[in-house]
Amino acid sequence: MTSPPPVLQPHTVTLHGHRVTYRTAGSGPVLLLLHGVTNTSQTWEPVAAELSRTFTLIAPDLLGHGDSATPRGDYSLGAHASGVRDLLSLLGHERATVVGHSLGGGIAMVFSYQFPERTERLVLVSSGGLGREVHLLLRAAALPGADYVLPVITSNRVLGAGRGVGSVLRRLRLAPGGDLALLAEGFGSLDNRGSREAFLHTVRAVIDSRGQRVSAYDRMGLATLMPTQIVWGERDSIIPLDHGKAAHAAMPHSRFEVFPDAGHLPHHADPERFAELLARFCRETAPANITAADLPPLLAGD
């Protein structure tokens, strides 16, 4: 039995001299969908069919990921946020509801902070930037030796011999079953020097040996004006559920939803529920309309 064709259709543009691949579907208000580290825009495929009935979906491959370029350059959250802002502008979209998973959640928060006038709503899915704890394997990637280890465990010879990333992680007990496949697939995708260097630059921009070193909590004031939905998998072993609970407590007007049987990918564990949750959130909340005059009190911490 053949699989149905993908809903998200790929396109390629040149942005600031670099190839950027993005996928689109549907029509209506814009949802900007941002994936996590070592992932791609295709992570949103399970929810694309339902969401595209109501929304225009724009899902880029972030630089250093998927089919986009892997240039030497800035892989910080701010650089990624500026890049997706420029992609929206190139496509003729001024505003969007920004949905970010994992690393994409950190980018989404920075996007809403840097470009609040372009952000209608914020959706954080198992998001980074909300606490220090993060999976040991990602902390290890911040260490200098990772530059030498990654080519070994992601080499075609090792993978072809059946002793690839998944078996290594399993033997080292670095992940329970639920998120093991995600980690193995992500690290297995780093099969060339450019993707490995981009991965290391991206991780080291937000993580050190002690965990996540970038925190959104000193800029949470903006959340009082921004409709925010937080979604987490109860069994997430990569970024703990407690981060979602703490973020919800720090954002008094936010919504919080836990998927009981999900790990780090709640939108894969129950795509129908995720799509309905996101559509309902957009129906029931008015888009933010933040202007420059709204910002000074928030920046001062008043």
Q: What's the CATH number where 31 sits? A: 3.40.50.1820
Q: How many domains, the chain?
A: 2
Whole-prediction pTM = 0.87
Annotated catalytic, 236? yes
**Is 2 part of any domain?**
no
Q: Any idea of the CA torsion for 155, 160, 161, 162, to the nearest 10 degrees? A: 100
**Is 4 part of any domain?**
no
Is 18 found in the same domain as 48? yes
User: Which pLDDT does position 208 carry in this prediction?
Assistant: 67
Which domain does 262 fall in, by range? 9-133+214-299
Q: Which of 243, 264, 267, 268 is catalytic?
A: 264
Q: Which of 102, 112, 126, 189 is catalytic?
A: 102
Neighbour tally for 45: CB within 10 Å: 18
Tell me what the mean pLDDT of segment 169-178 comes to: 48
Is 261 found in the same domain as 295? yes
Which residue would you say has higher pLDDT here, 293 or 267? 267
pLDDT band at residue 224 using 50, 70 and 90 as cut-offs: confident
Is 35 found in the same domain as 120? yes
Annotated catalytic, 102? yes
Percent with pLDDT over 90 in the chain = 56
- Identity at 254, one-letter amino acid code: S
**Is 282 part of any domain?**
yes
The two three-digit tokens of residue 255, written as one number: 């919504």
Q: Which of 61, 179, 236, 270 is catalytic?
A: 236
Q: Are the beta carbons of 208 and 142 closer than 8 angstroms?
A: yes
Could you tell me where the beta strands, DSSP code E, fall in the chain? 9-15, 18-25, 30-34, 56-60, 96-101, 119-125, 207-208, 211-212, 228-233, 255-259
